[in-house]
């Protein structure tokens, strides 16, 4: 199955919502820790916005080592065997914290 439709217009980026509609899955991997995480593109879109997968790679950070430069991200169509073994990271909630910062004068 192709990554993008055959007649996708040139110059139009393939965004997370397009990937969700096509049934793709996002794989984000840390090259340093060798940890792979799988996400539904619709949930990534809620957190990061409707951006391309290259922009997702630039915005994520490894939870274990904290590096940004060793991250890789890709969209793919999982085969039936992958559906059984993939454990998705699901979005539970988004919390906004309000912090008060004081300055002495």
* 1 pLDDT higher than 50: no
Q: Is residue 35 part of a domain?
A: yes
Q: What is the pLDDT of residue 3?
A: 55
Q: Is residue 91 part of a domain?
A: no
Which of 78, 65, 4 has its CA nearest to residue 31?
Answer: 65
Q: Is residue 101 part of a domain?
A: no
SS3 74: strand
- The count of domains in the chain is 1
Q: Is residue 75 part of a domain?
A: yes
Query: Which bin fits 78, alpha (ψ -120 to 50), beta or left (φ > 0)?
Result: beta
Is residue 98 classed exposed, middle or buried when 0-12, 13-18 and 19+ CB atoms within 10 A define those classes? exposed
Q: Is residue 60 part of a domain?
A: yes
Of 99 and 41, the structure prediction assigns the larger pLDDT to 41
Percent of residues, the chain, with pLDDT higher than 90: 48
Q: Is residue 98 part of a domain?
A: no
Q: Is residue 9 part of a domain?
A: no
Name the one residue in this structure whose structure tokens are 């199955």.
1
Kindly state the average pLDDT of the residues 1-29: 79
Q: Is residue 42 part of a domain?
A: yes
Kindly state the average pLDDT of the residues 34-62: 92
Domain of residue 70 covers 16-85
Kindly state the average pLDDT of the residues 57-80: 91
């Amino acid at each position: 199955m192709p990554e993008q439709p055959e007649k996708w217009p040139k110059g139009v980026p393939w965004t997370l919502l397009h990937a969700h509609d096509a049934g793709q899955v996002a794989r984000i991997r840390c090259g340093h820790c060798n940890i792979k995480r799988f996400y539904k593109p619709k949930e990534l879109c809620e957190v990061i916005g409707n951006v391309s997968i290259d922009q997702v790679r630039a915005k994520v950070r490894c939870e274990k080592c904290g590096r940004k430069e060793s991250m890789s991200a890709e969209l793919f169509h999982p085969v039936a065997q992958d559906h059984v073994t993939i454990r998705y990271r699901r979005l539970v909630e988004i919390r906004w914290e309000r912090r008060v910062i004081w300055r002495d004068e």
